[in-house]
Amino acid sequence: MIRFLVRRLILLLLSAFAAASICFFFLRILPGDAALNLTGMEASDEQIAHARAVLGIDKPLIVQYGVWVSGILHGDFGCSYLTKLPVGAEIVRRLPVTLPLSFFAFIIASAVSVPLGILAAVKRKNAVGIGISAVSAVGVAVPSFWIGIILVWIAALRFRIFPAGGFPREGWADPVAALRSLALPVITVSTVMTAGLIRYVRSVAIDVFSQDYIRTARSLGYTAFRARIRHGLRNMAVPLLTVLGIEFTSSLLGAVVIENVFALPGLGSFLLQGVRSRDFPVVQNVIFLITLFVLVVGFCIDVLQRVIDPLIGRREANDEN
C-alpha cells in the first residue's frame, strides 16, 4: 500500500510538471506580441521594446519558465500583462463565485442522479424507466450553455424570478442575493451533469444487478429489493465513486463555461478575458491550477478505490460462507 502511494504520488508530481510545461510552452510556440496590445496605436518601436522589457518577455524562454515555476512553489503566480496586478490574488478573489457554483451543482447532480439512475435500471422495461432514459438521453445531447440561455430567457427575463446575471458587489456578505445569483447557473450546470450521471448509474446498476451473487441471494430467500440493496449497492460503490470524482472536475469545467452565460465574475470569466487579450500569465496559471485540481482529484479517487476495493473483496468472500 505504501509503495502504491509513493508511486502514485510521484506520478502526480510528474503529471503536474508536465501540465505546467504544456501550459507554458504551448502559449509561446507561435509568434504573437503581448506588448502590442498595451501600447496601442500611437506607440513608437522604442515604446514597444520598453514595454516588452518591463513585462519580462525579452528574456530567453527557459529563464521565463524557471521564474514562473519557482514562483509557483512560493505561491507567486506572476502578474497579468494587462493590469499588472498579481494573478494569484485575483484567482483567490474569484474562487468564492466559481467554487460554490460547481460544488452545489455537483451535490445536486449526484443526489438526484443516483436514485433516478437505479430507478431507470430497475424499471427499464416499463414507462418510468424508458421515460427517465429518454429524458436523460436528450439531456446529454444539449449544450449546457443552451440550457442556461433558455433559463435566462424564461426565468430571468420573462418572469423576473431570478437575476439574469451578475453577482452582488458585496459578495457573500449578502448571502440571499448571492444565492439568487447562483440559482440559475447551478441548475444549468447540474442539469447536464445529472443527465449524464443517470445514464452511467443506470448502466452500472444493470451490470451489477445481473451478477451471479444477486441470483444467489435471491435463491437464499432475499427479495429482489433487499438483494440489490445489500449486495448490489456495495458493488456499485467503486464505479460510482470513480465517475463521481470525474464529475466533480467536470462540474468545475462546466462552471467555467456557464459563467459566460450569466456574467458571473468567477474563474471562468477571468480565464476567458485572458484568452481574448492574449494575457499569458492569466491563461497559463488558471489552466494549470484547474488541471492540477483535476490531477489531485484523480489521485484521491485512485487511492480511495484501493482502500475500498480490498474491503469489499474480503466481505463478499465471508458472505458466501
- Which string of x and - marks every residue 185-224 that binds another protein (by CB under 8 A)? ---------------------xx-xx---xx--x-----x
For residue 144, the one-letter residue type is S
Q: Which of the stretches 65-73, 109-117, 286-294, 305-313 binds another protein when contact is defined by CB under 8 A? A: 286-294
- Which string of x and - marks every residue 78-107 that binds another protein (by CB under 8 A)? ----xxxx----x--x--------------
Contact status: 22 vs another protein (CB under 8 A): yes
- Which string of x and - marks every residue 290-319 that binds another protein (by CB under 8 A)? xx--xx--x---------------------
From candidates 5, 13, 69, 161, binder to another protein by CB under 8 A: 161
Q: Which is nearer to another protein, 18 or 311 (CB)?
A: 18
- Report whether 305 contacts 237 (CB < 8 A): no
- The least distance separating another protein from the CB of residue 84, rounded to whole angstroms, comes to 5
CA–CA distance, 267 with 77 (Å, rounded to integer): 15
Enumerate the H helices of 123-143 as residue ranges.
127-141
- Which string of x and - marks every residue 251-270 that binds another protein (by CB under 8 A)? --x--xx--xx-x-x---xx
Q: Quote the crossing angle between the two packed helices 280-320 and 212-219, to the nearest 10°.
A: 40
- Report whether 283 contacts 27 (CB < 8 A): yes
Q: Which of 243, 255, 262, 156 is nearest to 202 (CA)?
A: 243
Contact status: 41 vs another protein (CB under 8 A): yes
For residue 35, the one-letter residue type is A
> What are the φ/ψ torsions at residue 79 (nearest 5 degrees)?
-120, 150
Q: Which is nearer to another protein, 72 or 289 (CB)?
A: 289
- The least distance separating another protein from the CB of residue 181, rounded to whole angstroms, comes to 11
148 to 65, 96, 142, 238: CA distances (angstroms): 38, 20, 11, 32
For residue 60, the one-letter residue type is P
- The least distance separating another protein from the CB of residue 272, rounded to whole angstroms, comes to 6
Contact status: 15 vs another protein (CB under 8 A): yes
Q: Which of the stretches 34-42, 67-75, 183-191, 308-316 binds another protein when contact is defined by CB under 8 A? A: 34-42
Q: Among residue numbers 114 through 153, which ones bind another protein (CB under 8 A)?
A: 121-122, 137-138, 140-146, 149-150, 152-153
Long-range contacts at 83-87 (CB < 8 A, ≥ 24 apart): 87/281, 87/282, 87/285, 87/286
